[in-house]
Structure 1
């Protein structure tokens, strides 16, 4: 796995914010609240966090599916335009792979039609049958013609996910954004799909942003990992650095529940705060086990009252007053 940050970012976000209007006069929900993030050419980046942390909203805003409240998104060095024509062109180069293949596939469409749909939307002028067969083969469904006339209910869960991936590959994109791509699959199939994504990266030079709540998945597939909490990235860096030597208390808590961690799980108190009422100071301080144990007493006032800057998405970084203070000791 690569440990160095690629020299050329393929996808970049700077100062990205996404807020949704509050209900009945409530403050806006700040789903993404200031994010800088880069995905390099040929890189697999994992975006990790609890449910509700904003990672899916961030991923969709990077694809132009959700309009940011502020901030910029660039692809291949060019700002992402928001016109319908520009977004259509962009989505040929950057494809979304959803969590639930059953929900992604129309039960009335054959495998052939499901994979060919993108070609038809983009008015592909080449040999459609050859393109569909090639995409199915690259996704591991061989011989491809055997699957053309089958329907989703005739396939296994792993085969359905491969069809969804083939539907993304048929347009020959440069970037896949995969939202929990193996969460609905049996453990025996998960490894096969992860190996497929790695093979596609190696053979096709594909970049990928993999959205997941599973740090174990990130360890198996990613070059770099960004850990997200309550709308903001709190730790980022090469996967070996972040997962072997985690610094943020939130990252440590997430890792502690993995079976291979070998220690006692860290149980975080309460639920993440409402994104329409983000706490002052460090947004994690109300659940931080270090602060609760008195371990951060020297910086406790800063934890509760002083906000942290948006992390630079290009290098190893941590957003934590306690980590900053102890690093300087």
Structure 2
């Protein structure tokens, strides 16, 4: 009797953008210890994938995004794009930034008030010496960003547009170079609630229509739920939990993720109020770097589970950049046991 072989799992695509052991350390002022803003991060973004990088202000997520863009050179580790290490020479970075574009938080600050919409979108083409039909490329980018008919916006200035329209112009300026990945830093934080959904829907449609990958930097886990395929939760320079958005946001393992989720309006959990601010990145605590604010440790639950001493003294490993759910927490049921 012949048997039919079991179907093999589909191959996992190679990451489009990856960081391995990435660290960014800033010198201390007046003899202070160096600040480890990003401290050994592994992160992968696959082709056509949207990853949300989530955390409080000061956790290092913007510094990580800037390092991934090549705007800040890492102190240690490596960024690779399409399998090739990122070079930091002027020519390498110029070629890289044609393929990876930045969308900033505040469209008013991103747009020169003296430039028309046409000039704002065409600027990237001119920097990179575009040889094709500039007018057609600008019109196509504006249309893809939802500004139709695009010619109606060519001669307008930023002050003549709504906040949502200005953000669409910023997105069009990124799209005009036909990038493979965009890094969006709080792309809807400055917009009214009624407009936020439209911009998020636009980013999703760009992923579906163009195969565009995105890293969306945000403090809002609700935004991550609405747009991301995967989420990476960052605290004090490290990724502390990562995985498919459904896994992380419906069954969070790390107390920090649980606390962030508890304050969402739609959450059924009792709000968790974290004590104090995140520690200074120049004075990272021993053991789990969250333990000084951890509600599981403060409640005695970690003591009852027999992990309190480890929480205070035992370091946790750097999470790998893979696609599966991972957590760096001594008290979590799926926590890794290796140390860094």
User: Which band: TM-score by shorter chain?
Assistant: over 0.9
In 2, Cα distance between the equivalents of 1:7 and 1:322? 32
Structure-2 residue corresponding to 1:302: 310
For 2:59 and 2:31, the matched residues in 1 are separated by 22
User: Matched residue of 2:179: which SS?
Assistant: coil
Query: Structure 2 residue aligned with 1:59, among 55, 65, 80?
Result: 65
Report if the CA contact (8 A) 2:48-2:212 is conserved: yes
- Does residue 279 of structure 1 match 2:288? no
1:322 aligns with 2:335: no
1:222-261 to structure 2, matched below 5 A, reads 222-261=228-267
TM-score (norm 1): 0.97
SS in 2 for 1:37: strand
Distance 1:202 1:43 in 2: 10
- The DSSP-based 3-state class of the residue aligned with 2:216 is strand
Pick closer, same or farther for the CA change 1:327–1:9 going to 2, 3 Å: closer
- What are the superposed Cα offsets for residues 42-95 of structure 1, whole Å, 9 maximum, x if unpaired? 000000000000000001100100010000000000000111100000000000
1:89 aligns with 2:95: yes
**Counterpart pick for 1:118 among 116, 121, 124:** 124
Q: Given the superposition, is the C-alpha separation of residues 202 and 325 from structure 1 closer, same or farther in structure 2, using an over 3 Å criterion?
A: closer
8 Å contact kept, 1:11–1:39: yes
Matched-pair contact (CA < 8 Å) for 2:19–2:79: yes
CA contact (8 A) 1:19 1:32 kept: yes
Question: Does 1:312 find its partner at 2:314?
Answer: no
Distance 1:131 1:235, change over 3 A: same
2:6 equivalent in structure 1: none
Contact residue 329 and residue 335 of structure 2 kept, 8 A? no
Aligned 1:1-329 pairs, distance under 5 A: 6-297=12-303, 298-314=306-322, 315-324=324-333
Q: What's 2:4 paired with?
A: none
Larger mean CA deviation between 262-271 and 113-122 belongs to: 262-271
1:7 CA drift (Å): 1.9
**Worse-superposed segment, 4-13 or 111-120:** 4-13
* Counterpart secondary structure, 1:23: coil
Q: How many residues align?
A: 325
Measured on the aligned residues, the alpha-carbon RMSD in Å equals 1.4
Structure 1 residue 327 displacement after superposition = 9.5
Tell me if structure 1 keeps the 8 A contact 2:327–2:334: no
SS at match of 2:165: helix
| Gapped regions of structure 2 (runs ≥ 5) | 1-9
In the other structure, the counterpart of 2:7 is: none
Q: Counterparts of 1:24 and 1:5 in 2: how far apart (Å)?
A: 52
Structure 1 runs of 4+ aligned residues shifted over 4 Å read: 324-328
User: 1:266 and 1:55 mapped to 2: Cα distance?
Assistant: 22
Contact kept? 1:5, 1:40, Cα under 8 Å: no
Question: CA 1:188–1:5 in structure 2 vs 1: closer, same or farther (change >3 Å)?
Answer: farther
* 1:165-191 CA distance string (max 9 Å, x none): 000000000000000000000000000
Q: Is the 8 A contact 2:52 2:215 kept in 1?
A: yes
- The CA distance in 1 between the partners of 2:335 and 2:250, in whole Å, is 18
